[in-house]
Amino acid sequence: MSSEFGVRRKERTPAKKRERIRRGIVLSVLFSIFLLTAQSFHWNLFFDSEPRTPNSELVFFTMAYAVEVPPLKGYVNDYANLMSPAIRTKLTHELKEFERTDSTQIVILTIPSLEGLTIEDYSIQVAEAWKIGQKGRDNGIIFMVANQERKIRIEVGRGLEGRLTDLTAGRIIDLVVKPRFKRGDFNGGFVAGVAALIDATKGEFKTDDANQPKTKKSFPPFFTILLFGGIGLLILGSISRALGGVVGGIGFPVAGYFALGASMLTLILLGILGLLMGIFLPILFSGIGYGRGGIFSPGGGYFGSGGGDSSDFDSGGGFDGGGGDFGGGGASGDW
Amino acid sequence: MKKLLICIAGIFVIISLSGCGYNTMQMNEEAVKAAWGDVEAAYQRRNDLIPNLVEVVKAYAKHEKETLQAVTEARGKVGSIQAGANVVNDPKAFSQFQDAQASMSSALSRLLVVVERYPDLKANQNFRDLQVQLEGTENRINVARTRYNKAVQEFNTSIRIFPNSITNSLLLHLKPKEAFKAEAGAEKAPQVKF
């Protein structure tokens, strides 16, 4: 039996065999491309680890009670018009100063009505949308008041839960804010409330190394890619320069996308860099360079369009939260 | 030329391995586990508050033995359940966990209703502090549960949609995870009024 097979195989012409191998390769490449494009439909669902529009993120689960979170205007968002303009300016100044020295972000929100929600449901959605406080430190506080329902809530970021416990927040509401609100003295209530919040959280964080982790984080992976990519390209490029160029041109932006979440521009630059490295690194290192380079691929254009991070460009100079996380800590009250 | 083609094909296969959702599913599973950790922590926090609460109530409301007993028993039941990250993968353990916590919730809310009859207790600063803490904890539980459910939903979707489902059935064999179901009484945190 086996010898029969062996004979048959031998009879096949090498041309036919090569044809079959080629067809197999083409098919597998096509299948890979197919998988990639199928995946790209769900690209945003998976790779956007920080959803930019929390409302759309909430659609799945809290559809029943998702609210239109009011836009974050600044430190004081007085949508219910409870404060006088002078107090608003004073508080804005105070909170800005506090963030400058302590990096803790306190934001005030007043709304006319809760639209049927509990204040806890509303405020956690606001917290998820605004992301008050710095990423990693989670040092944000939202001081929220719903006018019609006469509800007060202090929503405390995870990083401040140790200092500003539920108990402390509850006492600030009960003893500081509530009595003044009851008298109709909203200005006084907000001023005293903010002062108490600042007192409670002062010294928990300092501004000095506020932005350190961010810059630290984005560098090492870049060099790792460069290093390993360079070695890989050196090997591939010494097999064939065209191969090195193609792999560099495609592989670099892909690696850049997955590891860094880099923007479109960076991806294109990475593509060009990869292309050049793939072609010239082997020459640099060995000097062999047998002239064969005919196939060139447009560096990185294909993958770059798959998932460019457009939000890198839209950092308008306005006020925004820094990515602080909230876990539902804080206290509520009414007046 | 042939070598070149083989190499390119190999690279495409490697790239498509990340395109087929292998990493995504792993990532999502880890996210579920992390969210579960928060759920457990929040429930644990509530459990830790119970003894103090029972002590304070006992001092003022001696006649409410039954209600207090129910709370203590529920706490014991919660404590006896083996918790941990593996609960997430075991539907039976998960529903056991959920049942125990639900009976804890209802025992607690009964206690808080009973308390209404004792003005002295309600005026007690110690008790009021506990109420605030309990309220905050219930809210944390709510938030943690919602986030856990969201993570589970994301995970379950990621193992079912098309290219991932193939990878899953061939390589990972991950099973869909249970989410918290809203139930009467447990869905809403007990209203603690001053």
pLDDT digits (tens, 9 = 90+) for A265-290: 777 887 888 888 777 777 776 654 44
- Assigned domain for A203 exists: yes
| Contact call for A39 and B132, based on CB within 8 A | no
Residues A152 and A91 in one domain: yes
* pLDDT one digit per residue (tens) for chain A, 335 residues: 444 444 455 555 677 777 877 777 777 667 666 655 555 544 444 444 444 333 333 334 444 456 788 999 889 999 999 999 999 999 999 999 999 888 899 999 999 999 888 999 999 999 999 999 888 888 899 999 999 999 999 999 998 988 899 999 999 999 999 999 999 999 999 999 999 999 998 877 766 554 444 444 445 566 666 777 777 777 777 777 777 778 778 877 777 777 666 677 777 887 888 888 777 777 776 654 444 443 433 333 333 333 333 333 333 345 777 788 898 889 998 88
Residue A28 located in a structural domain: no
A108 interfacial to chain B (CB closer than 8 Å): no
Residue type, B189: A
Q: What is the residue-wise DSSP string for A110-135?
A: EES--TTS-HHHHHHHHHHHH--SBT
For residues A128 and A308, the answer to whether their CB atoms sit within 8 Å is no
ipTM entry: 0.76
pLDDT at A57 (0 to 100): 38
Query: Has residue A132 been placed in a domain?
Result: yes
Provide the 3-class DSSP secondary structure of residue A153.
strand
| Segment B107-153, tens digit of pLDDT | 998 888 888 888 888 888 888 889 889 989 999 999 999 999 999 99
The pLDDT assigned to A288 comes to 44
Domain assignment present for A55 = no
Outline where A41-133 has alpha helix (H). 43-47, 54-58, 85-102, 119-130
**Residue ranges of the domains in chain B?**
16-172
Would you call A29 and B9 a contact, using CB atoms and an 8 Å cutoff? Answer: yes
| Gap from A92 CA to chain B (nearest CA, Å) | 28
**In sequence order, which residues have a C-beta less than 8 Å from that of residue A262 and are 6 or more positions away?**
A253, A256, A270, A309
Beta carbons of B15 and A36 less than 8 Å apart: yes
Please write the tens of the pLDDT for every residue from A182-210.
999 999 999 999 999 999 988 777 665 54
* Nearest residue, CB atoms, B136 vs list A36, A45, A331: A331
Q: For residue A133, what are its two tokens?
A: 């406080």
Shortest alpha-carbon distance between residue A331 and chain B (Å): 6
Which of A185, A210, A235 corresponds to the end of one domain?
A: A210
User: Which pLDDT value is given to residue A86?
Assistant: 94
- Whether A109 maps to a domain, the answer reads yes
A141's enclosing H/E stretch is strand A140-146
* Tokens at A12, concatenated: 């096949």
Whether residue B60 contacts residue B120, with contact meaning beta carbons closer than 8 Å, is answered with yes
Q: Are residues A159 and A232 in the same domain?
A: no
Rounded Cα–Cα distance for residues A171 and A164 (Å): 10
In a shared domain, residues A190 and A228 = no
- The CATH label, of 1.20.1440.20, 3.30.70.141, 3.40.50.300, 1.10.40.30, for the domain at B16-172 is 1.20.1440.20
Find, among B15, B1, B17, the residue nearest to A22 by Cα: B1
- Chain B residue numbers touching A39 (CB-CB < 8 A): 19-21, 163
Mutation for B interface: A22, A26, A29, most B CBs within 10 A:
A29
Tell me the angle at which helices A241-260 and A220-239 cross, rounded to the nearest 10 degrees.
Answer: 160
Q: Is A331 on the interface with B (CB under 8 A)?
A: yes
The reply to whether A188 and A99 lie within a common domain is yes
Domain count of the fold of chain A? 2
Distance between alpha carbon A315 and the CA centroid of its chain, in Å? 13
Q: Which of A210, A227, A260 is the last residue of a domain?
A: A210
The pairing of beta strand A140-146 with beta strand A76-78: unpaired
Q: What is the CATH number of the domain that holds A119?
A: 3.10.310.50
| Residue of A29, A39, A258 lying closest to B163 (CB–CB) | A39
Task: Quote the pLDDT of residue A298.
Answer: 39
Q: Which residue(s) pair with A151 in the sheet?
A: A146, A334
Which backbone phi and psi does A323 adopt, to 5 degrees?
100, 25
**Interchain proximity B5–A45, CB inside 8 Å:** no
Neighbouring-strand partners of residue A333 = A152
Q: What is the pLDDT of residue B149?
A: 93
Q: Is residue A53 part of a domain?
A: no
Residue A143 forms beta bridges with which residues?
A108, A154
Give one word for A298, left, alpha or beta, with left for phi > 0 and alpha for psi -120 to 50: beta
Residues in chain B: 194
Is the domain of A137 the same as that of A170?
A: yes
Is the distance from CB of A173 to CB of A181 less than 8 angstroms?
Answer: no
Q: Furthest-apart CA pair in chain A: how many Å?
A: 103
Rounded (5°) CA angle A192-A325-A99: 45
Residue A1 lies in a domain: no
Residue A47 lies in a domain: no
Are A159 and A268 found together in one domain? no
Pick the closest to residue B177 from B156, B162, B160 (CA basis): B156
Say if residue A148 is in the same domain as residue A180. Answer: yes
CB–CB contact B16 A45 (8 Å): no
- Comparing CB atoms, the residue among B11, B150, B162 nearest residue A60 is B150
Q: Do B144 and A328 touch (CB under 8 A)?
A: yes
Q: Which residue range is the domain that position A246 belongs to?
A: 219-318
Do A177 and A290 fall into the same domain? no
